[in-house]
Structure 1
Amino acid sequence: MMKLKYLPIVVLLYLVPTVCLAGPIDKIAELIKQGNAHELAKYFAASVDITVVDNTNVYSKVQAEVILEKFFKENKPLSIAVLHRVNSSATYNFTVYLLNTDKGKYRVACTMKEVEKAMVVIELRIETEKT
């Protein structure tokens, strides 16, 4: 029988992989919370479908970064929470975040797919949260 003094070590060993190996969904959430368009753009595919409120278009990585930079300057992120995630496929992820900013609440939908063995954002939609 294992002594209770070893229990914290065992628990820690189970938690370390999940803490250290944060997946792309959590990394994207953290970068949105930071309002860091530059680092976020590193996860974009060569072209990405971006919707910001009512403006939708397909942009290059650089153009998409500029669009998001403008959004983050106008809407300073305060907090973010994952509302829904579909990551049952190794080659496709879909996540809906709730973003709270200094100007209001937004629903952010992010679609990622595997391209050349890396998960990249192919679509990012930022829409006003309907209450």
Structure 2
Amino acid sequence: MKKRVLLGMAALFLSVFLAVAQEIPAGVVPAFKKGSSQELNKYMGDKVNLILLGSSTNVDKQKATAMMQEFFAENKVSGFNVNHQGKRDDSSFIIGTLMTTKGNFRVNCFLKRVDNQYLIHQIRIDKTNE
């Protein structure tokens, strides 16, 4: 009986985890791991709020891609770890650590649902003190 309860709870936990994980498009994390602005472009909304090292700007998708390409060129990416992710109503987010040749950066990536898909509407990148 205990095994059934534990298996049931594990299955429930796994299904809830997978449902939350699906709110983040599968290609977003690999795009950060590669430092690929072109891959991120596929998941951006028409307008993106970019906050790069304290400088905030609202730009269209094309300009956001160019700015992220410039950031990745200046900070060669060696990895990306997801520290936390979640979902609330019609929005979701990822918080992670971007490892580069110039140090680590905290990345907050916020997505909102538009026409049954989640698109990036804000990327915030700040230098960490680690």
Correspondence for 1:29: 29
For residue 57 of structure 1, what is the amino acid of its counterpart?
T
Sequence identity percentage: 25
Larger radius of gyration: 1
Give the C-alpha shift of residue 116 in structure 1: 1.1
SS of structure 2 residue aligned to 1:40: helix
Question: How far apart, in 2, do the equivalents of 1:126 and 1:37 lie?
Answer: 14
Unaligned runs of 5+ in 2: 1-13
For residue 27 of structure 1, what is the amino acid of its counterpart?
G
TM-score (norm 1): 0.78
SS of structure 2 residue aligned to 1:24: coil
Runs of 4+ in 1 over 4 A off after TM superposition: none
Contact 1:29–1:97 (Cα < 8 Å) also in 2: no
RMSD: 2.0
* 1:31-61 Cα shifts (integer Å, max 9, x gaps): 0111110120111111000011121100100
Correspondence for 1:68: 68
CA distance 1:62–1:117, change in 2 (3 Å): same
CA distance 1:22–1:30, change in 2 (3 Å): farther
Contact 2:28–2:39 (Cα < 8 Å) also in 1: no
Number of equivalenced pairs: 112
